[in-house]
Amino acid sequence: MAIDSIPHRLLERGNEISNLPAYYVRSGGRWQPTTWRDYADEVQTAAKAMIALGMKAGDSVCMLGFNRPEWVIADVGCMMAGGAPAGIYTTNSAVEVAYIVNHCEAPIIFLEDRGQWDKVVAERDRMPLLKHAVMMRGAPAIDDPMVLSWEEFVAKAAETTQEQLDERLDGLEKDQTATLIYTSGTTGPPKGVMLTHENLSWTAGAAQSMVSAGPGDSVLSYLPLSHIAEQMFSIHAPITTGYSFYFAESIDRVPDNLKEVQPTIFFGVPRIWEKFHAGVANKLAGATGVKAKLAAWAMDVGVKANTLRNAGREPSGLLALQYRVANKLIYSKVKEAVGLGRMRIGVSGAAPIAREVIDFFMGLDVIINEVYGQSEDSGPTTFNFPGRTRIGSVGIPVDGVDVKLADDDEIIVRGPNVFKGYYKDREATDATLIDGWLHSGDLGKFDRDGFLFITGRKKDIIITAGGKNIAPKNLEAAMKNCNLINEAVVIGDRRKFLSAVVTLDPETCEIWAKEHGADVSTLHTNEELRAEIQAHIDEMNTHFAKVETIKKFTVLHRNFTVDDGELTPTLKVKRRIVYKNFDAEIEAMYA
């Protein structure tokens, strides 16, 4: 009897809503659709081709490239053929690519372009099990016996019968590893998170109930597909619900693509929402006179109306009238201008988002629902459900998932979404999965209504020279409420006081420089700008205990980057790399 898996669901969509659009690619100046029937056929063809190339049930294949059809087709095709796909971040170095390919023992890798092929070439002697490199559609021809063009790969499918593929499909088991999610490695080499077919299908079903999605909905696929959150939004949830997804042309084209697509569901990591916030806030700051007063009035109305909606109520009476007027004059225009004109669900996850950003968007009639989870539980643990949202929290547990606090306030999770372990790493598995409970490493607290609040990270705890335990998360979030600050990292482990290094927000600081006649390239040494940041930190310090106050800070000369190792591909800060790369600046504060 066939199990309920993502590949099986795709075949169902191909039969049930065969002529509706599954995904879109921008080509020739317009968005070209591919139907669910054709999508299902493409995946079956890819699965047959992989079998023909010698992929066995249980094998992994790797995908290395930006979001595009071939990435997704290879991913689901590998699952359909009984394997476990493993995505690789495009920003990974050649050495990191080789590590993952070797670790999962992949015989096949799918590559976007020559630049990614060069990474394979650089380390090919260290990948003895890798037999084939398949170039995605449109990549330049490469003369190498290991390489197949996309067309050559597709042609291989003719060597595999439908009966052979059906045998692989029928052999899938619900507790079989369906995919490997390699963590982005904030604390060391990436670990392969083993998610089962049941993990993926159950979580995709839960996601459907969370956002009430269906064939009329759409998303823009632009965040790394190597990450479980983007896989849920661009692969598993669409296949489960039947909604359409659009492939962004590139990360630089996301703002333009967003305006064209106007998706109904939008998922962004906090940094994406912060960029929206900075752009819109800067434009609103330029308004004067009647326009400025109208914008302020509309934002006040938006906060009041959406505060009610977050509690499950609708505005009525005078507030309802004010809302309709504000929507016609302000909200509808602003939302459409940034690409959120049709958005009915906005989600933020993967890292904490500042309350200031959420409040700002509420004033513009955009509600951001925070989701909390990790790769190890297939993405969602808790969610701020529409109509049941508490700002500052990460919501309530998803139905069917048990969430509680350990004795040390660590958040622990149990449910059908929890992974089966780390691939080839029994020690790490045993340390993380204890008696069926996933130990998240995050610290939290529940309020009396069951909303979860993240208070810190166990490994991020700073122990000062005075023996005080301090979670830096809240301090860093408070510092980032200053619109001049892009990132903030608190220092203080085994130190006599807390300090911080901060980076500057490029867009806000460019405007600040013009207003103050300053040179953008030397803003990190500008005393007037530093004084503004100091004033913000001084005010912020009044809200924290004395031992938690920031005594000194340094403005760094550049922002953190993925290439320099300070950020993961999902834009999380790697503290240990920041400490290492800016050691001189940090030590100068304690000299």
Same domain, residue pair 331 and 383: yes
Task: Find the mean pLDDT for residues 127-149.
Answer: 96
φ and ψ of 513, to 5 deg: -65, -40
Same domain, residue pair 196 and 304: no
Write down which residue in 394, 425, 457 finishes a domain.
457
The radius of gyration of the chain's CA atoms, rounded to the nearest angstrom, is 25
Write down which residue in 405, 432, 457 finishes a domain.
457
Same domain, residue pair 471 and 536: yes
Same domain, residue pair 392 and 482: no
Is there a contact between 235 and 75 (Cβ–Cβ < 8 Å)?
yes
> b/e map of 166-181 (b: 16 or more CB within 10 Å)?
eebbeebeeebbbbbb
Q: What is the pLDDT of residue 188?
A: 59
Residue 475 falls within a domain, yes or no? Answer: yes
Q: Looking up tokens 């997704």, which residue turns up?
A: 72
Residue 139 falls within a domain, yes or no? Answer: yes
Residues 186 and 458: their CA atoms lie apart, in Å, by 14
What are the beta bridge partners of residue 27? 30
Residue 274, helix vs strand vs coil: helix
Per cent of the chain over pLDDT 90 is 76
Residue 45, Cα to own-chain centre: how many angstroms?
A: 29
Residue 285 falls within a domain, yes or no? Answer: yes
Residue 426 falls within a domain, yes or no? Answer: yes
Give pLDDT tens digits for 57-105: 999 999 999 999 999 999 999 999 999 999 999 988 898 899 999 999 9
Same domain, residue pair 413 and 508: no
Q: Which amino acid is at 202?
A: W
Which burial class, exposed, middle or buried, applies to 426 when counting CB atoms under 10 A from its CB (0-12, 13-18, 19+)?
exposed
Residue 276, helix vs strand vs coil: helix
Same domain, residue pair 204 and 312: no
Same domain, residue pair 479 and 441: no
Task: Find the mean pLDDT for residues 444-472.
Answer: 82
Is there a contact between 136 and 70 (Cβ–Cβ < 8 Å)?
yes
Write down which residue in 414, 439, 457 finishes a domain.
457
Number of structural domains in the chain: 3
Torsion sign (Cα): 145, 146, 151, 152: positive
Residue 199 falls within a domain, yes or no? Answer: yes
Residues 376 and 423: their CA atoms lie apart, in Å, by 12
Residue 1 falls within a domain, yes or no? Answer: no
Is there a contact between 403 and 185 (Cβ–Cβ < 8 Å)?
no
Q: What is the pLDDT of residue 61?
A: 98
Q: What is the pLDDT of residue 1?
A: 62
Give pLDDT tens digits for 482-527: 989 999 999 988 788 999 999 999 988 989 999 999 998 898 999 9
Same domain, residue pair 565 and 498: yes
Q: What is the pLDDT of residue 563?
A: 87
Distances (CA, A) of 587 to 475, 488, 534, 550, 591: 20, 16, 19, 15, 6
Mean residue pLDDT across the chain:
92
- Residue 293: both structure tokens together: 């007063």
- Residue 266: both structure tokens together: 């939008």
- Closest by CA position to 163, among listed 48, 306, 270: 48
Q: What is the pLDDT of residue 552?
A: 95
Give pLDDT tens digits for 16-68: 999 999 999 999 999 999 999 999 999 999 999 999 999 999 999 999 999 99
Is there a contact between 361 and 368 (Cβ–Cβ < 8 Å)?
yes
Q: What is the pLDDT of residue 176?
A: 97
Window from 8-12, 201-205, 381-385, 575-579 with minimum mean pLDDT: 575-579
What ranges make up the beta strands (E) of 447-484?
A: 452-457, 462-463, 469-470
Per cent of the chain over pLDDT 70 is 98
Same domain, residue pair 318 and 402: yes
Residues 230 and 415: their CA atoms lie apart, in Å, by 21
- Residue 491: both structure tokens together: 């220092």
**Beta strand 433-434 pairing with 421-422:** unpaired
CATH of the domain at 540: 3.30.300.30
pLDDT at residue 125 greater than cutoff 80: yes
Residue 362 falls within a domain, yes or no? Answer: yes
Residues 584 and 259: their CA atoms lie apart, in Å, by 43
Task: Find the mean pLDDT for residues 403-419.
Answer: 95
Give pLDDT tens digits for 158-210: 999 999 999 999 999 999 999 999 986 545 578 999 999 999 999 999 988 88
Residues 93 and 99: their CA atoms lie apart, in Å, by 10
What are the beta bridge partners of residue 48? none
Residue 527 falls within a domain, yes or no? Answer: yes
Same domain, residue pair 401 and 512: no
Distances (CA, A) of 265 to 136, 187, 313, 345: 28, 32, 21, 5
Same domain, residue pair 139 and 31: yes
Same domain, residue pair 407 and 471: no
Q: What is the pLDDT of residue 466?
A: 65
CATH of the domain at 398: 3.40.50.12780
pTM reported for the whole predicted model? 0.83
Give pLDDT tens digits for 362-376: 999 999 999 999 999
> b/e map of 127-150 (b: 16 or more CB within 10 Å)?
beebebbbbbeebeebeeeebbbb
Domain membership of residue 305 as a residue range: 268-457
CATH of the domain at 47: 3.40.50.980
**Beta strand 218-221 pairing with 244-247:** parallel
Q: Which amino acid is at 253?
A: R
